Structure formats: C-alpha cells, structure tokens
Chains A and B, each alone.
Chain A
C-alpha cells in the first residue's frame, strides 16, 4: 500500500516548538486517487510516527497547492486526532481549499504565515494574482481568516473572530470582531460593513479601537484612512465624495464635494 511513494509524495510531520507542521505533498500530477494513496500511506505509517508531543497539540496544515475539499479536511482531522493533533490553521495557496477550509470552520491562512510581515515584494505580487475570497457563513469566535486579496463575507463576523486581508474587507452583515484591510501596508484598502460594531479596525499599519469609533449606527459604513487616521463614513456615497490621493497615501474629499452644489 505504501509502495511507490517517495518522501516528497507523502504527508510529513515536523515538530516546530509548540506546534506540529503537517506538510502535505504538492500536487505534481493529475493522478486519480492520489489523495487516497497519500492518506492510506499516512495511515499505515501512523503508528510508527515518533510522537514527541502531547495530546491536543496544535497542528498547522501546510497544504501548499493541493486542492482539498471539506470531506478530505475532515478525514485528515480524524487521522491527526488519533495521534493527538488538533488542526489549528490551514495554510494554502489555493482559493478553493481556503474556501472549503473556512466554511468547515477551520482557521485559514492563504499564502503563508508571513502575512503580518509588511510590504514583502512577494506578497504584493500574490495580491495582484489572488482572487477575492467569498465566504457565505457567520465567522464565529476563534476563527481567523487570512487572504492575500479582498475578502467578502456574507454573514456576521462575531467578537473573537478576525478577518485579515491584503485588500479590502467587505462584510454583508454585522462586524463585531476584528477586521484588518491592506494588511501588507496598502493605505488605499477599506473596510465596509452593513453594521459597524467592531472590536478593532485595522487598515495597513493603523489601528482604531471601538471606543474611538461611533457606535450603534444602523447604516452601511466604510472605514478608510484619512489624514487623521482611520475614519468612518456612510458607505453609500463614499466614492462619490472621496478620492484616494497617492501622494499623501490617504483618502481625501474631492474638491467639488467641498462646495455645496446648490448655492
């Protein structure tokens, strides 16, 4: 069963400090049943794996460019559970995998754990290539979603959850948790929510906490970087009145908007 799999084509566990990194092999050929073969191989090796960790240790899944669906993720979780590992986060380069993982309730990190390292050239390139991540569920406490491009959530973002995007964050629901737009340093990024009640808003390297923000507004709002830090505006007419001024790296009111039209 485990024949024909060299080291690169199998699941490997590497202990790194407090966590265990689970490296999934990268998908090199469109082989039918490749996943089944890898899983079977992993299962047969399981009892031989040197368990130098305690039960309940967090596992970081490095799935690289492997396409994984919910069923496969559950299968992997069950197997890892047998060796005392709990999935903490799924790191992937594939959007479909990120979507599947996030909708199954896992924390997801698309690209790499370097997401908080600002202004890496590599991530800027990835940002241009990445498509938006569109999630249709409530993001509950304890879940963190990272994505190298715009994130759209159809549902609420509850307190204790965080949404981290290199692009914009659009929430078609109530934002009660933390949202970070332009996480790699893009000042043009914005956060939009039907109802803004965030624990914290971050855009690029700026932070605004709940107390500095108006509360209990029942209209769609947008958070953006102004010359005085993060500000909030009614979303519906924001783009009519504001422009992003690259020279200042801030959003500024358009000239014509400064003067009332019906004088």
Chain B
C-alpha cells in the first residue's frame, strides 16, 4: 500500500521543501521506494535541493498534456537508491493543473511506490488544494513563530474539513537556547494551540542551508548532524520504528528539557 503524504504549512519559507528533500531521502535510505512530487508550480525548487536540476527533462505538465509518459517525467536519483522526483513546471502557474488531475497522477504512481511525498506551495489557494487532493496523510511544518503557528492552525482546520486521515506536526528551526531564555515559542506552546500530534523537532542549523545550496540533502552527509538525525528519526517514526518520541510526549517532564538533553547527548 502506497502512503501519500503532503508536506504543508500555510506560511511560506518555513522549510517544507527542505524537509521534503531530506525526509524523502531518509525514507529511501530505510529501503523504501519513494517518489517526491513538487507541487509548487512556478516556484519549483525541490529539484535544486536534491541536486537533480540538470536531469529534469519533462515535468508533470508534459505528462498530463500527453507529451510524454508519466514514467519519463520521473527523475531517478542516482545517489539514493529508491528515490525519485516528479518535477513541477517552472513556467506555469498554480492553476495549470486541477485537483482531479493531481489525483489521477498520484493514483497512477501509487502502485509503483511505498511513499509519495507532495511538497506543497505556501498559501491556501489552488496550489494547496492540488497538493492535498490525493494525500491521505499530512505533515504540518511550522517554525516557532507566532505567524507561522497561526497559519498552521488555519491549515489544520482546512485539512480537518477535508477529512484528512492523519495529521502530524513538525517543528522546524527550533533554537533551544532562545526557548530557554523565553525569546521563542516552545514546542509546548505550539502544541497547546494546535493540538496536533508531534512527529519531529528539527533544530535551526546553518548546515541545512549549506547542504541545500550544494544540492545535497543533509541526511546524505557521512558525518552525522543534529538536524540530519532529527529528520532520520521522523522517517523512522513514519515507518513505525522508534517510539521514543511518543514516550516523550507521555512523560510529564518538560518536552524542551528532554529535547535539550537529547541535543546535548548527540553532540557529545
């Protein structure tokens, strides 16, 4: 059974594409067949982050227009076994495709993959509707900022009204030292408002930016990094491995204290 998971946020620039690239790679590293779909028409950059830009020949639009087969539009990542990308068209707008078409594309792909991740554009308009149309699971990405959390809340409401099967939260760009000084929303603050189960916390780290610029997902790096581990943990949790986090949640200890401990440990 193929799982179709949309990665969405409402607010722009919170790390959806970064997380799609890294999480997709991490899930493929676990031996799964993965297809990443770039649903950000007109502003595609998932191919850049994966270092696949030069290999994009056709896009989802060409496949829909019958100019090529869907198979042909899909780019196979040679670095990561099992990882594939279906690129978006750069020269089209978000209205170039309908939710129904998106559903059909994903339906055709679903028999070939274990996981399909859809990188959603910012906003809640047509591009968002397309991206969520075929998904049965959603990962909400937010940063610890009031505006991002507000938009995440709006998106959760919309997903609930679409009867989205499961919704999980990823808090990205957390800076524990700022939380401790009360200069940043804590994960608890965010959970208190959104009331959505947490699947991962990714620290703010400049290596994410450098790896994006190189077109090399951080999780590929031989040298382990904190954000890399955080993303691999999300991949594991998606596959039902490692229940560490669920225990964390059930524990009365402050989540942040636990995470800080976890951060401290892995840095040793």
Interface residues of chain A, those whose CB is within 8 Å of chain B, are: 55-56, 81-82, 84, 86, 104-106, 138, 140-143, 156, 158-160, 176
Chain A residues with Cβ under 8 A from B158's Cβ?
105, 142
Q: Looking at the complex, which one of B99, B125, B126, B193 makes contact with A158 (CB distance below 8 Å)?
A: B193
Which B-chain residue is minimally distant from A104 (CB atoms)? B161
Please name all residues of chain A whose beta carbon is closer than 8 Å to the beta carbon of B99 when the two chains form the complex: 81
Are the CB atoms of A141 and B151 closer together than 8 Å? Answer: yes
Check if B195 sits within 8 Å of A138, measured CB to CB. yes
The 6 closest A-B pairs by CB, nearest first: A105-B161, A140-B157, A141-B154, A142-B154, A141-B153, A55-B95
CA distance A105 to B153 in the complex (A): 12
Main secondary structure of the interface of A (DSSP, over half): loop
- Give A158 to B154 CA distance when docked, in angstroms: 9
Q: How large is the interface on B (under 10, 10 to 19, 20 to 34, 35 or more residues)?
A: 10 to 19
The reply to whether A86 and B160 form a contact with Cβ atoms under 8 Å apart is no
Q: In the assembled complex, which residues on chain A have CB atoms less than 8 Å from the CB atom of B195? A: 138, 156
**Contacts across chains A and B counted by CB atoms under 8 Å:** 47
CA distance A91 to B195 in the complex (A): 29
Question: In whole angstroms, how far apart are the Cα atoms of A12 and B95 in the complex?
Answer: 24
Q: How far is the CB of B98 from chain A (nearest CB, A)?
A: 7
Q: Is the interface of B mostly helix, strand, loop or mixed?
A: helix
Q: Which of A86, A105, A176 has the most CB of B within 10 A?
A: A105
CB distance from A137 to the nearest CB of B (A): 8
Q: How far is the CA of A176 from the CA of B150 in the complex (A)?
A: 11
Q: A104-B161, A140-B157, A156-B195 are in contact. List 11 more A-B contacts (CB 8 A).
A: A56-B126, A81-B98, A82-B98, A84-B126, A105-B157, A106-B161, A140-B153, A141-B150, A158-B153, A159-B193, A176-B193
**Nearest residue in B to A55 (C-beta to C-beta)?**
B95
Residue of A nearest to B159 (CB): A105
Closest to A106 in B: B161
Q: Which of B135-173 contact A (CB under 8 A)?
A: 150-151, 153-154, 156-158, 160-161
> Is B76 interfacial (CB 8 A cutoff)?
no
Interface residues of B in 108-145 (CB under 8 A from A): 125-126, 129
B125 and A86: CB pair below 8 A? yes
Kindly report which residue of chain A lies nearest to residue B156, judged by CB atoms: A140
Chain A's closest residue to B100 (CB) is A82
Q: Indicate which residue in A56, A105, A140 contacts B125 across the interface (CB closer than 8 Å).
A: A56
CA distance A48 to B99 in the complex (A): 21
Cβ–Cβ contact B160 & A105, under 8 A: yes
Cα distance A141–B99 in the bound complex, in angstroms:
24
Separation of A118 and B154 alpha carbons in the complex (Å): 29
Q: Is the CB of A160 within 8 A of B153?
A: yes
Query: What are 17 A-B pairs with beta-carbon distances under 8 A?
Result: A56-B95, A56-B126, A81-B98, A81-B99, A81-B129, A82-B100, A84-B126, A86-B129, A105-B158, A140-B154, A140-B157, A141-B150, A142-B154, A156-B193, A158-B193, A159-B153, A160-B153
